[in-house]
Structure 1
Amino acid sequence: MHKVLEALTALAFALRTSVGYLLGGGYGLPPGHAVAVGTQPSLEEMTPQECWAKLSAGGVGRVVFSTETGPGAVPVNFTVQNDTVVYRTAPDSVLADVAGQKVAFEVDRVDDALTQGWSVLVTGTAKQIPAGETLRNPGEQADPHPWPTGRRDVWMRVTSSGITGRALREAGNRRRCSTLSRWECGIDRASPGCGARRIRRQL
């Protein structure tokens, strides 16, 4: 148990967060409760290519539309096909009713551990995909696989007229840690005190 705690402490140090957070202390709360430690992250504009790259894997985003009482936003599972956003919805849903309307589609990612993240906004027109139309990549890759139960066989696409995005990143140049191939722990990999190296020794 002592070794496990040492490993968690080293991981928390490398990620600049707390052991409590790693153990799920923030579960169920909106993201953004962490406080930046050290260098304050900088806000940078992303290129359209970077924005589409962020969305390319699909996931969950929000369709933003106008209603009689003001703006509305509904989360949906989505995929990206040929620089268009694709989602499925129910025939009698508000997301099917927006066909032909100008909408926005927003996706974001917040990393509390690193106090970093990004946000992408697609603007365009929502259109219903005619039954039987073949998408560019039919099959599993094209299907957004909605999480909610129920009939959701109306396929919709948001044809983009513009895409913008911003990323909150650590200021300054960082070297990728050779020990953690997917993480940039912010500590010089040549440093004997690298938290990632301690993690590898302890696990």
Structure 2
Amino acid sequence: MPASPKPARGDLGRRIVARRLQLGLSRQDVALRAGAAPGYIEYVEEQSATPGIGFLLRLADALETTVQELSGGTGELPPGLGRGARRARLVELDVAMCWVLLGDHGVGRVALTHEGGPVVLPVNYQVLDGEVAFSTGEDSPLATAVGTEIALETDHIDDAFSKGWSVLLVGPVRAVADEEDARELREAAYATPWAGEGREHVMILTPRRVTGRKIIVPDAPGDTD
């Protein structure tokens, strides 16, 4: 008798897998964060499951995203729908927490001054022992910023609960001149630049200032000072 076909993975499972891999987490990591069994994380990823809202809230928090994002509720929404909570307040983050939120890799925006004026560019970054590395193209504005001060900003916004955080790094940027060192850094990076191939120049930002802020919303899941 032929084996029963394996149920197709649903959209929820695909989004969970994609977000987990984006963060570089294993199923065990997510299970620990969400207070669930690794086998259940596997089930939700691989089957057409319909978990309860309580678990989805914990899972979204574990994956540093929102239930809306995991369920695809923001896929067709136009930009600009996020609204501030009525009783939200901003708190300053210490340097240690800023580095925790930056993680060991991610996506941010680099701001610099170019010959035509201010420029803001998205970058895939990698954290390296108190510094941040990213690759860029030979002719990009970022490649010409060697020896100047730039800013790197990254953030996370939870539209469902109108909360989030942002981290800002400011400092001089230098190019990795040794090609062997540059190659090793490119190969060690978690993600290749989204802008595509040809980004061979590795740049290092050494921040002299690291600041961050967090939006606190009373009674929102996972919110603590």
Q: Does 2:105 align with 1:26?
A: no
| Structure 2: distance between partners of 1:70 and 1:92 | 16
2:161 alignment partner AA: L
Q: Does 2:81 align with 1:40?
A: no
- After TM superposition, the structure 1 = structure 2 runs for residues 9-20 of structure 1, keeping only pairs within 5 Å, are none
Higher strand proportion (structure 1 or 2)? 1
Deviations 1:87-122 (A, max 9, x none): 001111111111111111111110111211001110
CA displacement at 1:33 relative to structure 2: 1.7
| Distance of aligned partners of 1:20 and 1:45 in 2 relative to their CA distance in 1, 3 Å threshold | closer
Paired position in structure 1 for 2:146? 99
Paired position in structure 2 for 1:191? none
- Alignment check: 8 A CA contact 2:105 2:190 kept: no
Alignment length (residue pairs): 167
| Distance of aligned partners of 1:115 and 1:96 in 2 relative to their CA distance in 1, 3 Å threshold | same
CA displacement at 1:21 relative to structure 2: 7.5
**RMSD, aligned CA:** 3.5
Q: Which of 98, 102, 110 is matched with 1:55 structurally?
A: 102
| Distance of aligned partners of 1:6 and 1:101 in 2 relative to their CA distance in 1, 3 Å threshold | closer
Q: Which runs of 5+ in 2 are unaligned?
A: 1-48, 61-66
CA displacement at 1:10 relative to structure 2: 9.8
Q: Does 2:193 align with 1:146?
A: yes
CA displacement at 1:30 relative to structure 2: 3.4
- After TM superposition, the structure 1 = structure 2 runs for residues 158-173 of structure 1, keeping only pairs within 5 Å, are 158-171=205-218
Higher helix proportion (structure 1 or 2)? 2
Q: Which runs of 5+ in 1 are unaligned?
A: 175-182, 187-203
CA displacement at 1:131 relative to structure 2: 2.4
| Structure 2: distance between partners of 1:115 and 1:103 | 29
Paired position in structure 1 for 2:134? 87
| Distance of aligned partners of 1:89 and 1:185 in 2 relative to their CA distance in 1, 3 Å threshold | closer
Secondary structure in 2 matching 1:151: coil
| Structure 2: distance between partners of 1:21 and 1:35 | 18
| Structure 2: distance between partners of 1:50 and 1:75 | 23
Secondary structure in 2 matching 1:160: coil
More divergent stretch after superposition (63-72 vs 114-123): 63-72
CA displacement at 1:143 relative to structure 2: 5.1
- Alignment check: 8 A CA contact 2:217 2:223 kept: no
Secondary structure in 2 matching 1:121: strand
| Structure 2: distance between partners of 1:100 and 1:185 | 39
Secondary structure in 1 matching 2:147: coil
| Distance of aligned partners of 1:93 and 1:21 in 2 relative to their CA distance in 1, 3 Å threshold | closer
Deviations 1:42-86 (A, max 9, x none): 210000111111112311111101134432100010011011111
2:216 alignment partner AA: R
1:130 alignment partner AA: A
TM-score by length of 2: 0.61
Q: Look at both structures and tell me which one has the larger radius of gyration over its CA atoms.
A: 1
State the identity %: 33
Secondary structure in 1 matching 2:87: coil
| Structure 1: distance between partners of 2:127 and 2:68 | 36
- Alignment check: 8 A CA contact 2:68 2:160 kept: no
CA displacement at 1:133 relative to structure 2: 5.5
